[in-house]
């Protein structure tokens, strides 16, 4: 597809349709049927727009002048207009990532409109805003909108987590809100520093200025800006110093909300990581700092996951540790590693959604998701157990599934740049993921239900055992699981379906690694 020079229709629609959907479902508040149809139609239209859209730009100020020689006024009267300003770009990477996000949005809305009964409008609205912030942040090419999208995204994450209504959710929401206030202000400071240093907020222009101008004495400012970027990167993905906080956020939200949250977090990680790689990738020690944070995240997250006894919390820590895989690819920064990291982001969103929606289904049996209380569900729901096991295979990188393809690319690229330690850590992560997940899934699904309490308490009427509110799983949940499992299988067999979308970005951004 060709790139057009005028503004693209689809970018504006990708941002405004979620906003209008949010406003409408907020006004409908509790009219559940209307909310269901309107939100499903909006989400499906987002999927269709993402597939049909050509590639191109959206300029907010300083649109391309009619005559290239005329110069319009913005900051500096000598700058040509068209690389000037606030710019969104919709390209192959954006297409595939937004498509995956929109797919998850459709499935999550289908589930949330069935499951929730109270205050449905605002909750669905917040899920739409999550999609919008992620879509903006993956499309921006200027620091101003990057910062705005991070701020909107953080406020919406706080809302989704607090909506779970438990004490631990509200605690996690307040902690996350405080930290996001800090890191949002840090990102604004970084924006101010780069704006003051280069005079541009457009990232491409700022990079060109930094590379072509001698920043004598001022290059320390770049390090300060890099530090604040690292802060917001850590916050966006829950990387190592705050991994307990982000996993509390994941664990405390509803599981379908977590599916949306983790997709948004992966997109934010990719977007901020690519910006950091482009702006600061040539600074000494920058990529080493990013790489060490990623490796520590993988190790610590998976160790914490081994200690949990609740499927929800196992998944929460695993999501954080698998974010480390995405960031390893981005911080290595070579062509292969970037392809692997971006592909891992797509795969991660898909297989973690399988596991999270399966975890949501476990709730319908009325005994929670703790490995101690919920046992023997495989007999009641064999297809659910099959989907969970297949999701586990995908997450731990077992060959016919998609997790294998991206992990093998990452391992090979780590070996190629001469860092076998990183490859070993990725292998350990795969094996430990399998152990942690299978331990939880075995005791929830396969372990036989204990019948001893019935036999002992003979005086208690048998209805007392059946008082748990067990409800049939809606068909939509099974359908979503089936769709996601099929997609993971297809991507595992034909990885080129996605990889050909990722190669242009990897070629444009990659920097050779020299230790």
Partner 1 sequence: MIQVTIQLLAFFAAAVLVIIGIAGMLFLDNLIKKIIAFTLLSDGVNLLLVAVGYVEGGIVSILLPGMSTSEFASRAVLVFPVGIVLTNIVIGVSTTAILVALAIVLYRRYGTLKASKVLKGERR
The residues of the shown chain that bind partner 1, judged by CB under 8 A, are 73-75, 77, 144, 148, 151, 155, 158-159, 162, 167-168, 170-171, 173-175, 177-178, 180-182, 184-185, 188-189, 191-192, 195-196, 201, 244, 248, 308-310, 313
C-beta closer to partner 1: residue 79 or 93: 79
C-beta closer to partner 1: residue 146 or 276: 146
Residues contacting residue 513 through CB under 8 Å, at least 6 positions apart: 287, 332, 333, 334, 337, 417
C-beta closer to partner 1: residue 2 or 70: 70
CA 25, CA 39: separation in Å to the nearest integer? 7
> What stretches of 53-166 show up as alpha helix (H) in DSSP?
92-115, 120-139, 143-162
> What stretches of 363-448 show up as alpha helix (H) in DSSP?
382-395, 402-416, 420-441
C-beta closer to partner 1: residue 150 or 414: 150
What's the token pair of residue 275?
């910006």
**Nearest partner of 437 among 369, 489, 490, 487, judged by Cα:** 369
C-beta closer to partner 1: residue 171 or 380: 171
CA 253, CA 125: separation in Å to the nearest integer? 16
Shortest CB 66 distance to partner 1, Å? 18
SS3 content of the chain, % helix, strand, coil (to 5): 75, 5, 25
Phi, psi of 257 (to 5 degrees): -65, -35
C-beta closer to partner 1: residue 134 or 390: 134
Shortest CB 219 distance to partner 1, Å? 17
Encode 363-374: b = buried (16+ Cβ within 10 Å), e = exposed. Answer: bbbebbbbbeeb
What's the token pair of residue 96?
């595939």
Shortest CB 146 distance to partner 1, Å? 12
Q: DSSP states of 283-318 as a string?
A: STTHHHHHHHHHHHHHHHHHHHHHH--BHHHHHHHH
C-beta closer to partner 1: residue 9 or 144: 144
């Amino acid at each position: 597809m060709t790139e057009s020079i005028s503004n693209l229709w689809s970018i504006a629609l990708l941002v405004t349709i979620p906003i209008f959907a949010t406003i409408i479902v907020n006004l409908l508040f509790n009219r559940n049927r209307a909310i269901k149809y309107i939100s499903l139609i909006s989400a499906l239209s987002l999927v269709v727009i993402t597939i049909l859209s050509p590639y191109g730009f959206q300029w907010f100020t300083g649109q391309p002048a009619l005559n290239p020689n005329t110069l319009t006024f913005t900051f500096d009267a000598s700058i040509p207009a068209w690389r000037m300003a606030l710019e969104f770009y919709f390209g192959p990477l954006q297409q595939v990532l937004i498509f995956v996000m929109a797919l998850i949005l459709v499935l999550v809305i289908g589930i949330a409109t069935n499951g929730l009964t109270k205050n449905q409008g605002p909750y669905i609205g917040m899920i739409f805003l999550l999609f919008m912030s992620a879509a903006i942040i993956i499309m921006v090419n200027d620091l101003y909108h990057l910062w705005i999208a991070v701020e909107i995204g953080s406020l919406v994450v706080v809302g989704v987590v607090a909506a779970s209504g438990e004490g631990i959710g509200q605690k996690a929401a307040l902690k996350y809100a405080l930290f996001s206030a800090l890191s949002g202000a840090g990102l604004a400071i970084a924006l101010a520093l780069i704006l003051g240093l280069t005079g541009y907020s457009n990232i491409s222009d700022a990079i060109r200025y930094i590379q072509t101008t001698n920043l004598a004495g001022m290059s320390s400012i770049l390090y300060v800006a890099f530090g604040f970027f690292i802060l917001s990167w850590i916050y966006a993905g829950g990387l190592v110093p705050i991994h307990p906080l982000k996993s509390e956020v994941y664990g405390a939200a509803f599981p379908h909300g977590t599916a949306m949250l983790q997709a948004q977090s992966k997109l934010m990680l990719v977007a901020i990581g690519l910006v950091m790689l482009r702006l600061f990738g040539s600074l000494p020690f920058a990529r080493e700092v990013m790489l060490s944070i990623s490796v520590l995240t993988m190790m610590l997250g998976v160790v914490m996951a081994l200690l949990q006894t609740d499927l929800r919390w196992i998944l929460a820590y695993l999501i954080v540790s698998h974010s480390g895989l995405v960031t390893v690819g981005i911080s290595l920064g070579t062509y292969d590693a970037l392809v692997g990291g971006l592909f891992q982001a797509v795969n991660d969103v898909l297989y973690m959604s399988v596991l999270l929606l399966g975890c949501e289904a476990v709730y319908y049996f009325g005994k929670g998701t703790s490995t101690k209380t919920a046992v023997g569900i495989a007999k009641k729901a064999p297809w659910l157990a099959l989907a969970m096991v297949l999701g586990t295979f995908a997450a731990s990188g077992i060959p016919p599934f998609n997790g294998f393809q991206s992990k093998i690319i990452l391992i090979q690229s780590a070996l190629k740049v001469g860092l076998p330690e990183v490859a070993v850590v990725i292998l350990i992560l795969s094996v430990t993921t399998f152990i942690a997940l299978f331990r939880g899934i075995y005791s929830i699904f396969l372990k036989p239900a204990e019948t001893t309490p019935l036999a002992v308490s003979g005086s208690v009427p048998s209805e007392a055992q059946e008082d748990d509110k067990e409800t049939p799983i809606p068909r939509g949940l099974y359908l979503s699981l089936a769709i996601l499992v099929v997609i993971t299988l297809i991507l595992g067999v034909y990885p080129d379906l996605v990889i050909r979308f990722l190669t242009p970005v990897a070629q444009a951004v990659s920097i050779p690694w020299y230790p």
